[in-house]
Amino acid sequence: MKQYLNVITAYLIMFTLIILVGIFQSWSLALTILNYCLISAVMTIGANIQWGYAGLINFGIMGYTALGGLAVVLISVAPVGEAWSVGGLNMMICLGVIIGIVFSIRLTLKKIVRSKKRNYLIAAIIIIGILLLRLISAPAIEGIEAVEPAKTGFLGGLGLPVLFSWIAGAFLAGGLAFIVGKVALGLRADYLAIATLLIAEIVVSIIKHEDWLARGVKNVIGLKRPAPYEINLQQSPWFIDLVEKFHSGKLALVNSVSEKQEVLNQLVIDASSVYVKLCFTGLFLTVVIILLIVTQKALYSPWGRMMRAIRDNEEAAGAMGKNVVKQHLLIFILGSAIVGIAGAMMVTNDGLFTPGSYRPMRYTFVIWVMVIVGGTGNNFGAILGGFVVWFLWVEAAPIALFFINLFTAHLPETNEIRVHLINSAPYFRFLVIGTALLVIMRFRPKGILPEKIIKN
């Protein structure tokens, strides 16, 4: 029990903070923060597997998050029949061509010995393949994008329930991680960081600009939800009864019938948004708990010990007969797949897919700050980091505003410095996050909850 004391205290403080937000700001906001904290926690579990368990730097978290989001669109949106009939066949042929290119390259690599001729052959295959792709896809893309461009203009998805997309997101992200891992894992730590960052940028720019796939920067809105809609809740009698019962004390104070009805209506509207968010919280919490149990088990299994051995001394682990390359690839895929789940969860929570919003600042560096602040190599730490940093990220602006008002209280309302500072309050979040990272790196380099190594 004693060894878990710091974990429990840290989490208690965190939840108290969220409850304080609920009391002082609003419960709806507190739940929004909590939901995002849980999503961030899933991302940090993924990043922590790669960095904490195996020492692999993945600055491409943004790319996997975006792919997870794309999975939601591809799985849950109803297919656009017209677009499929216009260009579906050609796009399928393109997919076939891509598979053909990959296999023919593999075949040449296997059958022909390393030589200049082989390199030229591969280059020729790629160039011919790309020309073929452009020839086949160009008319199809034009056709697809012309189908009701204001509303659809893309192929649509499979029309399946949205929860499937979380799994699909994991597979998409894992698939990309397989390719990236094959290509880049041989690189040294800081090169790997840069390479993954740039590959993620390429992925996001493809999602942004291929409108036929997921409408690009035109965004997909109104995605399906695994939770009821507020508007339906507000009209269902059982929900109104529930709210009435819950607030019976408050309602009893109101005398006139019409006023009572008004108050009740307002309460139902508030409660419906809280209820929906609670549904999401339940789903996200389930995912976090499942992942936590699995990763915790994995960490203290022989496999986890092997990963730590590889992390701490690659050569020694290799000399003991462990296949370092294979294990690195495996863990890279696993971690990225978890990040993919988080990406899908986030898009499901928002109900919209906005490729333009995927920026490295928010989706790579902030996540990394979470892992480092929380504690590398410790799952509880990583999750806590997700909570703490996300909380700071959201609450930094109101807190900064409070302090600005406090310190500039003696200045007149129209003082230029005061107005300027109040207008720039949102940017204090960068300052807070950056300082938090620098302070933690300096004075507690292993994070708030450091890695614990159980020896038996």
Partner 1 sequence: MDFINAILVLLNYTIIPALTYGSQLALGAIFVTLIYGILRFANFATGDMMSFGTMFAVLLTYYFQSLGINLGIFPTALITIPFATFMMILYMLSIDKFVFEYYRIKKSPPVQLAMVSVGVMFVTQAIIRIIIGPADRTFLDGEKFILKASEFKEMTGLNEGLTIKSTQAITIVITMIVVSIMFWFLNKTKTGKSMRAYSDNEDLALLSGIDPKRVVLITWVIAGILATIGGILYGLDKSYRPFVYFNNMLPIFAAAIVGGIGNPFGAFLGGYVIAFAEIFLTYAYKKFFTYILPEALEPNSMMQILSTDYKFAVSFSILVIVLLFRPSGIFKGKTL
Q: How far is the CB of 205 from partner 1 (least distance, A)?
A: 5
Q: What letter represents residue 267's amino acid?
A: L
Q: How far is the CB of 277 from partner 1 (least distance, A)?
A: 29
Q: What are the two backbone dihedrals, phi and then psi, of residue 60, each rounded to the nearest 5 degrees? A: -100, 20
Q: How far is the CB of 217 from partner 1 (least distance, A)?
A: 10
- Contact with partner 1 (CB under 8 A): which of 10, 83, 195, 291? 195
Interface with partner 1 (CB under 8 A), residue total 41
Q: What letter represents residue 260's amino acid?
A: K
Assess 197 for contact with partner 1 (CB under 8 A): yes
Q: Give the nearer residue to partner 1 in terms of CB position, either 135 or 453.
A: 135
Contact assessment for residue 384 and residue 449, using Cβ atoms and an 8 Å cutoff: yes
Contact string (CB under 8 A) for partner 1, positions 146-185, x = contact: -------------------------------------xx-
Assess 356 for contact with partner 1 (CB under 8 A): no
Contact assessment for residue 160 and residue 75, using Cβ atoms and an 8 Å cutoff: yes
Q: How far is the CB of 198 from partner 1 (least distance, A)?
A: 4
Q: Give the nearer residue to partner 1 in terms of CB position, either 153 or 157.
A: 153
**How far is it, in rounded angstroms, from Cα 215 to Cα 374?**
37
Q: Give the nearer residue to partner 1 in terms of CB position, either 19 or 361.
A: 361
Q: Which of residues 362-391 bind partner 1 (CB under 8 A)?
A: 365, 368-369, 372
- Contact with partner 1 (CB under 8 A): which of 118, 143, 430, 452? 430
Per CB under 8 A, residues contacting partner 1 are: 57, 183-184, 186-187, 189-191, 193-195, 197-199, 201-202, 205-206, 208-209, 361, 365, 368-369, 372, 421, 423-424, 427-431, 433-435, 437-438, 441-442, 445
